[in-house]
Amino acid sequence: MKIIITGCGGQLGTDTLVALASCGHDLVSFTSARLDITDAGAVSSVFAAEAPDLIINCAAYTKVDLAETESEKAFAVNEGGVRNLALAAKEAGAAVLHISTDFVYDGSSPHPYTEEDATSPLGVYGISKLKGEEVLREVLPEHIIIRTSWLYGAYGKNFIHTMLRLAAERESLSVVYDQVGSPTWTKDLAGAIVVITNRIEQEASPEGGSTIWGTYGYANHGVASWYDLAVAAIEEASEMKIGTNIICTSIEPIKTEEYPTPAARPAYSVLDTAKIKRVFGIKIPHWRESLKEMLKDVAKMETEVSNEV
């Protein structure tokens, strides 16, 4: 199957490309610098030249706070860019697998969010991502939308890397404890994308089974606050001697109101993963175990860099 992967310069795009590389598919990858999905002409030209069967869209505007003042950029990528991909995919006869977010919810639910729960984003980022979902549904029936949460990986910028950097600079940290979600390792999500991609290939064949198109939630099992995640990351990194210059000895839990940000965030954004597990048979690890594995990758990368020097 011919697959175009967009946003390959990001943490999820990087892990997805690696995960799919050994599956026998014909892969064409684009960083956002190589393919600007807001450029409809560029997208159309690429699809016409490559004739893909599937597009995996990992490209997105993800600067949650900056989106409040850069709304045009956020909507250009998260809504307009998705429209361009959907229209070009329809012309090419291809399907789209698109990554969305827990920020489409407002965080007021008393239970993990299912795909059928009402959406009500709190800020520009969440609204722009929801608009992207809507336009994909309108344009292209052959799509899969994966809503995910609290992504982190060995590559790129994310909360884990920020906490480890700050832990090497400060003896004490203050981290919000009243925002709760499910930390999700990009490598685990990439593995799920591989399973779904292979299923899409089966569905496209004459003997394919019932439809699998639609919206799914994916996140690692378990629940944590940002405070829980920071404590776990620093504890595990210290034990593994990752970044041996960690000096932080105290982490204080604080309320959201004590750390104001331009964009409001959901207080509770745990995703129900029953549907994706049922439809695709995906096994999902607990976030704490995945955090350990991710930090092992970081340690391996540090060792390789050290040996090269």
Considering the candidates 105, 125, 227, 268, report the single residue annotated as catalytic: 125
Residue among 302, 270, 308, 293 at smallest CA distance from 110: 270
The number of residues making up the chain comes to 309
Rounded distance between C-alpha atoms, residue 28 and residue 306, angstroms: 32
**Whether 206 contacts 136, CB under 8 Å:** no
Concerning whether 177 is annotated as a catalytic residue, the answer is no
Residues catalogued as catalytic: 125
